[in-house]
Amino acid sequence: FFSFIFFSAVSGSSTVCSGNVGEPCITGIDCCQGICVNNTCVGGVRAVACGTTFCMEGEECFISKIDCTSSITCQIIAQCKPMRVQLEVSPCATVECLEGFVCEPVSCIIPPCPKVKAKCVLKSDPCTKNPCGWSEKCISNVDTQTYQCIPKSVCEKLYCPDDYECTTVTPDCAGDVCPPPYPDCVRVDPCKTTFCLDGYECVPQYQYSPPRGHCIAKNVCAGVQCWKGYKCQMTVMHEHCFGSPCSPILYPECVAIEINA
């Protein structure tokens, strides 16, 4: 078989490697690519010369010392060690703030700098500093301390049919980069302008044009359990009021079930 021997000068000394991946390797000589397994270079990892050996992927060459005592020529003693990965950790990673506060890194340009690298500050609306242009509207998220700038005239170019109105929809998003709000036509909610008395709730009626808000009595018996032989019914109480006008109060009451003889 054919085998190639490569010579590489590293720090004044000669190192030898033999064979690429899939090629035979010479006994006592490292592969130029991969590692020597059963007299064959295997693996797709590029070996990096390091002194008299080769470092594989995930390793780096580390010069431990230079020996100048054993001979006239100084000898570099190198070895392969696991590659060190430098991770950048935010100073707020280990800081937990109370509700209503947010962690901010402490910046310092002119020394002496404080030992504290992060601090808890009161949450504020990021839109109060007017970060958007004059023709834009600022929409903020106080919890994430982020904001988005959208055109103020976002609804001016959208035509909505009768009984519909334009509104700005903010997409649900939990990531750092979220899609911008967009205009959409939604049905007019008549209950926004409908006032109901205590014990009543508004139900929109879209069969009318324009839609109407209708007040109906709440189901006050929902979730109420009565004793055996009793049932829950809605009772109207008027005695609580001595003036006029008086709003009725609805409350649940357990009454005996009538049994017809």
Structure tokens at 185: 């036509």
Strand, coil or helix: 140:
strand
Give the Cα separation of 97 and 105 in Å (integer).
Answer: 13
Give the Cα separation of 255 and 146 in Å (integer).
Answer: 55
Q: pLDDT, tens digit, for every residue of 99-122?
A: 778 888 888 777 788 788 888 888
What pLDDT score was predicted for residue 69? Answer: 64
Identify whether the C-beta of residue 101 lies closer than 8 Å to the C-beta of residue 120: yes
pLDDT(142) > 50:
yes
pLDDT(43) > 60:
yes
Q: Using the Cα atoms of residue 6, residue 10, residue 12 and residue 13 in order, give the sign of their dihedral.
A: negative
Which candidate, 94, 61, 67, places its Cα nearest to that of 80? 61
pLDDT(2) > 60:
no
Question: Which ranges constitute the DSSP H helices of the chain?
Answer: none
Give the Cα separation of 167 and 181 in Å (integer).
Answer: 10
Q: How many CB atoms lie within 10 A of CB 46?
A: 14
User: H-helix or E-strand containing 171?
Assistant: none
pLDDT(243) > 60:
no
DSSP 192: G
Which amino acid belongs to residue 259? I
pLDDT mean over 85-104: 78
| Site of tokens 């003693």 | 77
Give the Cα separation of 39 and 28 in Å (integer).
Answer: 10
Strand, coil or helix: 190:
helix
DSSP string covering 8-56, please?
A: EEETTEEEEEE--TTSB--TTSB-SEEEEETTEEEEEEEPEEETTEEE-
| Selection from 13-22, 83-92, 155-164 with the highest mean pLDDT | 155-164
Its pTM surpasses 0.85: no
The residue count for the chain: 261
CB proximity list for 7: less than 8 A, separation 6 or greater? 14, 15, 16
What pLDDT score was predicted for residue 257? Answer: 86
Structure tokens at 22: 């899939």
Separation of CA 118 from chain center? 21
